[in-house]
Amino acid sequence: MDNNSMIDSLRGKYTTELFSIDESSDILTITVNKSCIKELVRWLKDEIGFGFLTDLCGIHIPGQTLELGVVYHLHNLPENKRIRIKTFTTKDNPKMSSITEIFSSANWMERETFDFYGIKFVGHPNLIRILNVEYLDYFPMRKEYPLEDATRSDKDDRFFGR
């Protein structure tokens, strides 16, 4: 299936949930509402042939209404086609549907995303921290801290173009 056929199928099936489509890079990228992510991934696997979950990771884009996101990369091995799916949620209610029943490999990836970004995957069989200590009270990959230490006195801004 080529990109045009895929886009037509997506627009026909997900009329209101499909926010954007980007073909500018070497991979088809779509942004969808988080409410349809599980159904979309199942449809892509069962009907279109994207049978391999390459990656699932979190992102944090501060300053937006929907700050936290999850990016899924799926691969159709027989046709050598890839697709990237993005979906976003608020920082106040960071919940997504788990896709572990569709791809068992999502188990570790969802736990890692929860561990670093605090996104809770509803329906995950064992959503606990996987790399950080369990008593950590923050999510280290969120961009919530200043990039520089304001208390440093050994740094002269003249040498950094400021």
Q: How is the beta sheet containing 68-76 ordered, strand by strand?
A: 18-22, 28-32, 81-89, 68-76, 52-60
Per-residue pLDDT tens, the chain, 162 aa: give them. 788 888 999 999 898 999 999 988 889 999 999 999 999 999 999 999 999 999 999 999 999 999 999 999 999 999 999 999 999 999 999 999 999 999 999 999 999 999 999 999 999 999 999 999 999 988 999 998 776 777 777 777 677 665
Inter-residue contact 31 to 82 (CB < 8 Å)? no
Inter-residue contact 70 to 61 (CB < 8 Å)? no
Close Cβ partners of 76 (under 8 Å, ≥ 6 residues apart): 48, 49, 50, 51, 52, 82, 83
Sorted by where each starts, the structural domains of the chain and their CATH numbers stand as: 3-145 (3.30.460.80)
Q: DSSP alpha helices (H): ranges in the chain?
A: 3-13, 37-43, 106-117
β-pairing verdict for 52-60 and 68-76 = antiparallel
Angle at the Cα of 156 (from 151 to 159), degrees rounded to 5? Answer: 140
